Structure 1
Amino acid sequence: MKFFLIAGEPSGDQLGAALMAGLRRLAPDAELVGIGGDAMAAQGLDSLFPMGELSLMGIWEVLPKYRHLQRRIAQTADRIAAERPDALITIDSPDFCLRVARAARDRRPDLRTVHYVAPSVWAWRAGRALKMAQVIDHVLAILPFEPPLMRTAGMTCDFVGHPAAAAAVAGPDDAALFRAGHGIAPEAPLVLCLPGSRRGEVDRLLPRFGETLRDLRRHVPEVQVVLPTVQGVADLARHLTAEWSSRPLVIEDPAQKCAAFAAADLALAASGTVSLDLAANRVPMVIGYDMAPISRMLIGMLLKTDTVTLVNLVSDTRTVPEFLGRDCRPAPMAQALLRLLDDPAARAAQLDAMDLTMDRLGKGGEAPGLRAARSVLRAVTGPR
């Protein structure tokens, strides 16, 4: 059995690696080929080209790379046709992955297709599910309310759990060692600064996050800031923070990042799955996010929900404050952070919502990568 997998960004790379591990456990002879990053490479994937070329988000960000992405789509579809896999498994990154799926289906109409991570049709552009059903047979959903939406659109779908609910978290000893190792006093408020994993996000958000944290320090001078990041944007993060009056500790090492999450009292984070990582570690948070003006305008017109933060959505609460688009401004974000430091009730409400979120995402159950692999094998070996 052979599978062609495609991941287009770091979060998808992690999902892909866990799925590969699950497939190797359940189908040891399976051949796994495709496109991925470091995590999938560690599972034995020889990527067709560097995954970083695909880590783009937003209409304005994609436009300058459009011709290059078109060439990569054709190249990938040609390779899929040559490899003749039993199934194509695309992981998130729908702007690239679903175009590849369509092109691959044009070359081989009988190709089975699986997409990992349902489109957020509950938030905006509900028609995406119907469009996706034209080229995708089966969906692996990571949020519990998504399968009915996918089935209504004409695809089979399983909820396989969210990786954040199964991720290992560091303990109090690790947290204490992290603080001691970096000269952070046990009583000093430690704030995580998380401006995203894409260069465009970091470039746009980090200056505003810096101003926000400066405002917070005017009220709480002893605040310490740690900036966990990924290899592809660490250099940019260091450059943008080089002239901060109090430079943050920028860390890339995964073990150090886990320890930092355990040690943190608070976080200022970009919108995205990082909110679930924070929830798994029970770190109260404030969310800030903005996009290029054209992308912001178009998405703002189509947005269907009053929140985009996954903790709010999964727990069906609105305990996590978020500042999106034009509201992503330093002063109100700093006030929201200060409230979480000063108001025990606000912290407690977030912590309760986080615990409920983790339970609903599958905490304590079978590992999501293994559940996803089991779902893939059922979908591929079952009747069409």
Structure 2
Amino acid sequence: MRIYLVAGELSGDILGAGLMRAIKARHPEAEFRGIGGPRMIAEGFDSLYPLETLSVMGLVEVIKHLPELVRVRRHLRRDALAWQPDVMVGIDAPDFTLGLERQLRETGIPTAHYVSPSVWAWRQGRVKGIARAVDVMMTFLPFEAAFYERHHVPVAFVGHPLADELPLVNDRLAARHELGLAAEAPVLAMLPGSRANEIRFLGRTFLDSAARLIGRVEGLQVVIPAATPQRHEELAALLVDYPTLRGRICLVEGQSRDAMVACDAVLLASGTAALEAMLCHRPMVVAYRMAPATHWLAQRLVKTDWISLPNLIARETLVPELIQDAATPEAIAEHLMIWLGDERARQSLEARFAAMHAQLQRGASERAAETVLALAERRALPQAADVLEKDS
């Protein structure tokens, strides 16, 4: 059994290593080759290039590295054709891997793609190219699988690895103890983002919201897990201008998951953090601000009713989304008061999130392995329709 894998970035390396372990559990003799990172290499992967080869962000950087990326893809095509794998799997990095998948599929090598690009949200016409590139798309989320089914692209909903990682029952009091927070007082977690621009656009807005809430919620504790040491410095510098928050704010480095489990509600920038908060079963308010030109462009390109994953998965508005001019300290504080002031509403949403968590906790690596092996062995693919529940 020979499997060609091409992963991009650290997240792809984590997914690739999990996929390899699941495949080796069924086929210990399986061989793996392509591009991967240290986790995949530790599983016995033969990587022809460093993982960072595909980790190019931003238009200018992509253009600068385009000749090298084209050369790498040509080399991988020649190498795969010489090695003759039973199946090729691209893991994320769609701008690079889908092109290689199409080229190899045209030669008769079965191909799969692991992690759907956001084709459902913008540039939906890309689905035609995806249909030419893959024998099956493996998705994390049910609404993604429903999108591919509507467009007649073979799909396998495998569940989300993060849902497998996080427990269905968590311990709020233990997390508060870990962070040094009072056990009984209400807690708000604030995650203003992992990028410098997010702190620039959201940092003061979030802190202004916290100042309003501290005046309204008795004993409120606010924990801010900074994503990196640099974000910690930037947030600490902002806090100097908020003397009224001293003693009420707990600024920590990392520990975002502990902060989410410990809290009663979360205020966060849109992104993967919203999914993680959902999987910790915590009510949230999603807020995002960006440069005006970026917002103008996004309004014209993005075709979706929601931006946060909890709402997208549910196909309804479970949590408030306050975008651009709507993301004011006053509006944020009012929406957070619903979760901090109404225990019944909070518990109801926590129960809904726990049910959604269970839907996504499907053993993603094992299901992805079953799909890949079905392709390699020319068997019928696992069915996605039984879990889609009419696009829910």
Question: What's the TM-score, normalizing by structure 2?
Answer: 0.79
Which one-letter code corresponds to 1:94 in the other structure?
P
More divergent stretch after superposition (278-287 vs 188-197): 188-197
Query: Matches of 1:212 and 1:33 in 2, distance apart?
Result: 50
1:343–1:235 distance in 2 versus 1, CA, 3 Å: same
Instruction: Report the Cα offset of residue 43 of structure 1.
Output: 4.2
Select the residue among 126, 132, 146 that pairs with 2:130: 132
Listed one character per residue, the Cα deviations across residues 277-314 of structure 1 (whole Å, up to 9, x for unaligned) are 22222111111234555543333113333212222232
Deviation of 1:317 after TM superposition, in Å, equals: 2.7
Asked if 1 retains the 8 angstrom alpha-carbon contact of 2:226 and 2:252, the reply is yes
Q: Is the 8 A contact 1:191 1:223 kept in 2?
A: yes
| 2:24 equivalent in structure 1 | 24
User: Could you tell me which residue of structure 2 aligns to residue 282 of structure 1?
Assistant: 281
2:368 aligns with one of 357, 372, 377: 372
Size of the alignment, in residue pairs? 367
In 1, Cα distance between equivalents of 2:44 and 2:327: 41
CA distance in 2, matches of 1:330, 1:93: 36
2-structure distance, mates of 1:222, 1:341 = 9
1:43–1:278 Cα change, 3 Å? farther
Check conservation: 1:114, 1:137, Cα contact below 8 A. yes
Question: Could you tell me which residue of structure 1 aligns to residue 386 of structure 2?
Answer: none
- Match in the other structure for 2:384: none
Residues in 1 aligned to 2:113 and 2:322: alpha-carbon distance in whole angstroms: 30
2:52 counterpart of 1:54: no
For 1:263, the equivalent position in structure 2 comes to 262
- How far the C-alpha of 1:50 sits from its partner, in A, is 4.2
Structure 1 249/93 Cα, relative in aligned 2: closer, same or farther at 3 Å? farther
Letter in 2 for 1:350: L
Distance 1:319 1:145, change over 3 A: closer
Alpha-carbon distance in structure 2 between the residues aligned to 1:52 and 1:336: 43
Following the alignment from structure 1 to structure 2, what is the Cα–Cα distance between the partners of residues 215 and 52? 46
Separation (CA, whole Å) in 1 of partners of 2:210 and 2:53? 29
The structure having more radius of gyration, on CA atoms, is 2
Secondary structure at the aligned position of 2:132 is classed as: coil
Displacement of 1:208 after TM fit? 4.3
Question: Which of 174, 179, 195 matches 2:176?
Answer: 179
In 2, the alpha carbon distance for the partners of 1:215 and 1:41 equals 50
Do 1:73 and 1:99's aligned partners in 2 also have CA atoms closer than 8 Å? no
1:125-150 CA-to-partner distances (Å, cap 9, x unmatched) read 32121121222221102222333532
Measure the CA separation in 2 of the matches of 1:128 and 1:163: 25
For 1:12-60, what per-residue CA distance to the aligned partner results, in whole angstroms no more than 9, with x for missing partners? 444333222212222222223444556545545576224496274xxxx
Q: Secondary structure at the match of 2:318?
A: coil
Alignment-derived partner of residue 354 in structure 2: 355
State the Cα distance separating 1:180 from its structure 2 match: 2.8
Q: CA deviation at 1:214?
A: 4.2
- One-letter amino acid of the counterpart of residue 353, structure 2: M
Matched residues in 2 for 1:6 and 1:330: separation?
44
Structure 1 contact 33–46 (Cα < 8 Å) conserved: yes
1:6 counterpart residue number = 6
Where in structure 2 are the equivalents of 1:174-253 lying within 5 Å? 175-196=172-193, 205-206=202-203, 208-220=205-217, 222-227=220-225, 229=227, 234-243=228-237, 244-245=239-240, 248-252=250-254
Contact 2:7 2:35 in 1 (8 A): yes
The C-alpha deviation readout for 1:58-93, integer Å capped at 9, x for no partner, is xxx433443225523532441353253433322233
Secondary structure at 2:282 match in 1: coil
8 Å CA contact 1:286, 1:333 repeated in 2: yes
* Matching residue of 1:315: 314
SS across alignment from 1:158: strand
Kept in 1, the 8 Å contact 2:138–2:156? The answer is yes
Give % identity.
34
Relative to 1, partners in 2 of residues 1:53 and 1:149: Cα closer, same or farther, differing over 3 Å? Answer: closer
- Return the letter of the residue paired with 2:8: G
Are the counterparts in 1 of residues 19 and 365 from structure 2 also a CA contact under 8 Å?
Answer: yes
Query: What is the distance in 1 between the residues matched to 2:38 and 2:326?
Result: 35
Q: Is the 8 A contact 1:23 1:373 kept in 2?
A: yes
Q: Secondary structure at the match of 1:320?
A: coil
- CA deviations 1:171-215 (Å, max 9, x no partner) are 665x43443343211123333333445666566555544444344
Q: CA deviation at 1:276?
A: 2.7
The one-letter code matched in structure 2 to 1:372 is A
Alignment of 1:94-173 (within 5 A): 94-102=94-102, 105=104, 109-169=107-167
* Inter-partner Cα distance in structure 2 for 1:314 and 1:167: 18
**Residue in structure 1 matched with residue 79 of structure 2 by the alignment:** 82
Taking structure 1 as the reference length, what is the TM-score of the superposition? 0.80
Kindly provide the amino acid, as one letter, of the partner of residue 55 in structure 2: L
Is 1:142–1:162's contact at 8 Å kept on the other side of the alignment? yes
Q: Confirm or deny: 8 A CA contact 1:312 1:353 kept in the other structure.
A: no
Q: CA RMSD in A?
A: 3.4
Rounded to whole Å, the distance in 2 between the matches of 1:11 and 1:348 is 32
Q: Structure 1 residues 12, 275: closer, same or farther in 2, change over 3 A?
A: farther
Q: Secondary structure at the match of 2:336?
A: helix
Q: How many angstroms apart in 2 are the aligned matches of 1:42 and 1:122?
A: 35
